[in-house]
Amino acid sequence: MIRCGTIGLGRFDLLSMEEEARRFWKTREIPRKWRSWDEGKPVFAFLEGPPTANGYPHVGHIRGRVFKDFVLKYMRLKGYNVWAQAGWDEQGLPVEVEAEKKLGIKKKKDIFRIVGAERFVEECNKLVDYYLKYWQDYATERIALWLDLENAYETRKPEYIEHVWYFIKRMHERGLLYEGKRVLPFCPRCETALSDAEVSQGYEDKVSPSIYVKFRLKNRNNEYLVIWTTTPWTLIDNEAVAVNPEGIYCKTRVGDEYWFVAESRLEEVMKNAGVESWECVERVRGSELEGLRYVHPLLEEVPIHTKHENAHYVITADFVSLDEGTGLVHIAPGHGPEDYEVGTQYGLPITSAVEINGVFNSEGGIFRGLDVNEASRKVTAVLREKGLLVYEGTIVHKYPHCWRCGTPLIYRADKQWFIRVSPYRSDLIKALSDVAIYPKKLRARFENWLENLKDWTISRSRIWGTPLPVWVCKDDPKKVKVIGSIEELKKEAEYLPDVDDFRLVHRPWIDRVRLKPTEDCKEWIRVPFVVDVWMDSGMAWMASVDGLRNRKLFSMLYPYHFITEGIDQTRGWFYSLLVTSVLLEGRAPYRTILMQGLVLDAQGRKMSKHLGNVIWANDLLTKHSVDATRAYILMRYPPAESFIFNLKEIRDVVRNLNIIWNVFKFADTYMSIDRFDPSKYDVLTTFNEGAPEDRWIISETNTLLRKFDELMGEYRLHEATKAVLDFFVETLSHGYLRMIRPRVWSEESLDRFHAYTALYHALKTGLQLLSTIAPHMAEKLWQDFIKRYEPGEAESVHLSRLSEPAKDLTDERIEKLMKVALGVISSAASLRNEVKIKLRWPIQYVKVGLPRDYVEGLKELKHIIRLLANSKDVIIVSYEELDCGEEEISEETKVDNVPLKTCISRELTSELRKEALAREIIRRVQTMRNSLNLKVDEPIKVYIKTEDDEISAALNEHREYVASEVRARDIMFGEGEADLAKEWVVEGRKVWIGIKRLRS
């Protein structure tokens, strides 16, 4: 009887547990063992969505990565060989922007002029290394996300880049690669085109000018078209005016002029223009205006327009809105996707006087050298001078901005390289139909995106990226050669720069490669682009394992079982994986997608550097324990919902974990006193032969296992998490522990070993599930609790194997009955509260009325009700038979659809009073034991002196009961030599109590 709880589990301290567990894992190499594969087990292949190795990880990243680990840890517990390779997305614009900042570069040209491309690329590479450390530490190891970092795939590595080249070459061979001219969004600061996916990430409010401009009609007397635009600079490349063919336009007299404006907009336009007196003299259908010629408003300033022949007239287009502006839209085919389309239809000149950096060239006439903003101001000023400006104001509207640097984008026509994916829309949708998407409701969005798919613009005018492996013939640019591997490059090269493979497959070194002349071409020239980074990560399904060479491994993993990233990746990574895999292999590369929602701050706002409300991973994890953070993230919201991150709420989770800790501590206290050895007991025996509550908790444990599996199967991660926490807090702590207290306390009760067996089983199972949520604390409990009772168990909780839910350990009937019993107890507590009888005071009886079917069943749980309601008797009858009288108080409720009526006796007999007083004394002795810091089972001697007859009588009558409860060898009346003595007031009467410790 020496081992008394104290050497078992210590104080609850998450941070120190975390520390300890991390050390343990490191010295024992647990993560490596966790990742190792056993022959014959099924494989669960996870494909890591590579974070961009740029910038620090924040709480949004942590959320996603906790989801990943939760699922992986679970699958491993279930006995799968888990594939958990890390991966990093290392190239692309984000890194370049960062490098520019660091090197103090403002324009792209300066990269070549001032620092040189070599140094720039080395700088990008170094930055990647810098940020990788944070990601490996705070966003991976620190949160116990056990990805294989040593064998992480990296998009900058030559063998990875080869896979991207391979894809492009295959597309070329199938005639799907082409160079085309298209109007694309450009970032003038980054000097590169952006993909649709990138654009869609950057819609933000922008204040733009909003002007009405008069275009004078040719061969008419003082008649004008009044157009509306929010981008005055595009007027420089204006080639037509579009009207809605079905719209009604008014020829409106304003002074001695006639203006054409949509009828529906007339009032508003006139108001804005400050025209007080006007008259609609003629109503014309839009289609009737078609073909009317006008004078370009900037003809003198932009002389090139005098040479444009098929231009400057009214055309019709369905997209022209009659609800905004003037109902007439100016068309600059080089500056808008819709303008371009309609311009091509009419055969208008496609002009763009704007260079990639947003500055006008000589075709812009007097606007040459101005950037688009300056040009807008000057255009407006010129129009004002010429008397053509009708109205000048501003408008706030959603406008696309560069997702990296925030610069408003410009649209301009340019030559780019494309992959023809639009013919494959239906194949993509079909491939997606084999994929499980969680939550299910988001499938429609993905399909919607695929239905509207345009050809993929894969070229980028940047430097730090996978070079586009395309060479064109100098004399005949239609001749195209695509290189598909490093080996091929070396074979085809006439001159190779003397560098390693890493540099060879990067700009600027690859630009220096000279290919051998071929029969049909004397000189090949590489197109100066890199590849859209989304293609880098999009090839991860193959490139991550060097799949071109590593066929066996690749075929074991592909198609991957599971990927999960933010919902925004529908247009990003989810898409680029799908398209590359469908085009190469004819199917989706993944079987399950779990979409994640955003993370917002406590006020529900988006986290942004600008608002200063970003919670960084390292701040979060140094202040709060990983386990509490994980549990909080996992339980609080469904994975796909926006997460309002409120640091204060982590405290509530800590409280839950603390209760779990205490549950183990409670168990350990008594199991160790009794030297409980689980190997000697069998759960099935206890299930069948133990007390009803033992059967109940074993059944609940099984139900938890089954429920957890079900919920995980549907990726309802938050509900699975809550089920585990609830099991510990509600079922065990508030339920079972209260029920078995007297049994484990009494030294006589032999069936307490049934309780230990049931409890141990529940704790061990719960602990395994908990290990997916709070891995550090679970490990600590596994080592300090489970391994002490079962030294032969797995080395780590994470290497243990979860049992399958078992039919023969489930009893739904007892679960239901216990719910009812707990409902009765709750009613009794409520009634006590009403008549102010505290729980310590026993009551005569509790009467319960309920449907006939439940009467006999509930009687099996009488002893539980008696105990927890502290009632001498429990009377259970059918609902109709129940009769509550004057001396009773009653309450009706429903528990799990079972109607219940409960009443309790409010009469306190003298017998009950005496017992209550005895318990009052017990309580006070216990308090005194506690302040002497006595061990749980340390014996004492008690002295009591009181002049109250009732208390004396109570003590006489319950002497043995009191003695056993307080572990007293003897109870003496009168004062005596004590280690601690105190005078108490019990129910208004003075009692002197002294206790003396005895040697055990």
Partner RNA sequence: GGGCCCGUAGCUCAGCCUGGCGGAGCGCCCGGCUGAUAACCGGGAGGUCCGGGGUUCGAAUCCCCGCGGGCCCA
Q: Minimum distance from CB of 571 to RNA (Å)?
A: 5
Task: Write out the two tokens for 311.
Answer: 């231009």
Q: Minimum distance from CB of 839 to RNA (Å)?
A: 4
Residue 98's H or E segment, with its range, is helix 93-103
Active-site annotation holder among 31, 50, 400, 559: 50
Q: Cβ closer to RNA: 323 or 385?
A: 323
Q: Which of 663, 650, 800 is nearest to 744 (CA)?
A: 663
Active-site annotation holder among 534, 541, 696, 984: 534
Residues linked to residue 46 through DSSP beta bridges, in sequence order = 84, 562
Q: How far is CA 565 from CA 67, 133, 147, 570, 578, in A?
A: 9, 21, 16, 9, 14
Q: How far is CA 399 from CA 231, 338, 353, 408, in A?
A: 11, 16, 22, 7
Cα-based angle 515, 517, 519 (whole degrees, multiple of 5) = 140
Q: Cβ closer to RNA: 452 or 685?
A: 452
Active site annotation includes 534: yes
Q: Minimum distance from CB of 378 to RNA (Å)?
A: 28
Tell me if the bond preceding 50 is cis, omega within 30° of 0.
no
Please provide residue 983's backbone torsions phi and psi, each rounded to the nearest 5 degrees.
-100, 125
Separation of alpha carbons 799 and 20, rounded Å: 17
Active-site annotation holder among 69, 89, 196, 627: 89
Separation of alpha carbons 227 and 296, rounded Å: 12
Separation of alpha carbons 945 and 951, rounded Å: 10
Give me the half-sphere count of Cα atoms (radius 13 Å) on the Cβ side of residue 593: 28
Residues linked to residue 205 through DSSP beta bridges, in sequence order = 398
Q: Minimum distance from CB of 521 to RNA (Å)?
A: 38
Give me the half-sphere count of Cα atoms (radius 13 Å) on the Cβ side of residue 569: 25
Q: Cβ closer to RNA: 734 or 801?
A: 734
Q: Minimum distance from CB of 548 to RNA (Å)?
A: 32
Q: Which of 465, 464, 350, 368 is nearest to 411 (CA)?
A: 350
Active-site annotation holder among 569, 627, 661, 694: 569
Separation of alpha carbons 875 and 845, rounded Å: 7
Q: Minimum distance from CB of 302 to RNA (Å)?
A: 27
Q: Cβ closer to RNA: 217 or 657?
A: 657
Q: Cβ closer to RNA: 431 or 723?
A: 723
Q: Minimum distance from CB of 897 to RNA (Å)?
A: 5
Q: Minimum distance from CB of 828 to RNA (Å)?
A: 8
Active site annotation includes 25: no
Residues 6+ apart with CB under 8 A from 27: none
Q: Are 431 and 587 in contact (CB under 8 A)?
A: yes
Q: Collapsing DSSP states into helix, strand and coil, what is residue 942? A: strand
Distance of CA 826 to the CA centre of its chain: 38
Separation of alpha carbons 535 and 423, rounded Å: 19
Q: Cβ closer to RNA: 87 or 247?
A: 247
Q: Minimum distance from CB of 534 to RNA (Å)?
A: 13
SS (H, E, C) 649-660: HHHHHHHHHHHH
Tell me if the bond preceding 842 is cis, omega within 30° of 0.
no
DSSP string over 700-769? HHHHHHHHHHHHHHTT-HHHHHHHHHHIIIIIIIIIIHHHHHHHHH-SS-TTHHHHHHHHHHHHHHHHHH
Q: Minimum distance from CB of 549 to RNA (Å)?
A: 36
Q: Cβ closer to RNA: 442 or 875?
A: 442
Residue with tokens 């220096």: 512
Q: Which residues bind RNA (CB under 7 A)?
A: 11, 196-197, 199-201, 203, 323, 337-338, 398, 441-442, 444-445, 448-449, 452, 567-568, 571, 604, 606, 636-638, 641-642, 644, 652, 655, 658-659, 662-663, 665-666, 669, 729, 733-734, 737-738, 741, 745, 826, 829-830, 833, 838-840, 894, 896-897, 919, 922-923, 926-927, 929-930, 936-937, 965-967
Q: Cβ closer to RNA: 383 or 723?
A: 723
Cα-based angle 83, 88, 93 (whole degrees, multiple of 5) = 155
Active-site annotation holder among 573, 616, 696, 782: 573
Active-site annotation holder among 307, 398, 609, 648: 609
Q: Cβ closer to RNA: 136 or 672?
A: 672
Separation of alpha carbons 87 and 716, rounded Å: 26
Residue with tokens 């003198």: 300
Q: Minimum distance from CB of 172 to RNA (Å)?
A: 26
Q: Are 145 and 798 in contact (CB under 8 A)?
A: no
Task: Write out the two tokens for 498.
Answer: 């003397």
Strands 257-262, 177-187: pairing is: unpaired
Active-site annotation holder among 606, 722, 859, 945: 606
Q: Cβ closer to RNA: 130 or 319?
A: 319
Task: Write out the two tokens for 96.
Answer: 């370049």
Q: Minimum distance from CB of 733 to RNA (Å)?
A: 4
Residues linked to residue 857 through DSSP beta bridges, in sequence order = none
Name the DSSP class of 435.
S
**Which amino acid, 425?**
R
Q: Cβ closer to RNA: 566 or 775?
A: 566
Q: Are 427 and 583 in contact (CB under 8 A)?
A: no
Q: Cβ closer to RNA: 252 or 326?
A: 326
Q: Minimum distance from CB of 55 to RNA (Å)?
A: 19
Active site annotation includes 89: yes
Q: Which of 163, 119, 180, 107 is nearest to 531 (CA)?
A: 163
Active site annotation includes 569: yes
Active site annotation includes 573: yes
Name the DSSP class of 367.
G
In the sheet with 871-878, reading across from the earlier edge strand, the strands are 871-878, 843-850, 898-905, 888-895
- Residue 647 burial by CB count (10 A; 0-12/13-18/19+): exposed, middle or buried? middle
Task: Write out the two tokens for 435.
Answer: 């994929």
Angle between helix axes 717-726 and 626-636 (nearest 10 degrees) is 120
Q: Cβ closer to RNA: 636 or 776?
A: 636
Task: Write out the two tokens for 40.
Answer: 């014959």
Residues designated as active site: 50, 89, 534, 569, 573, 606, 609
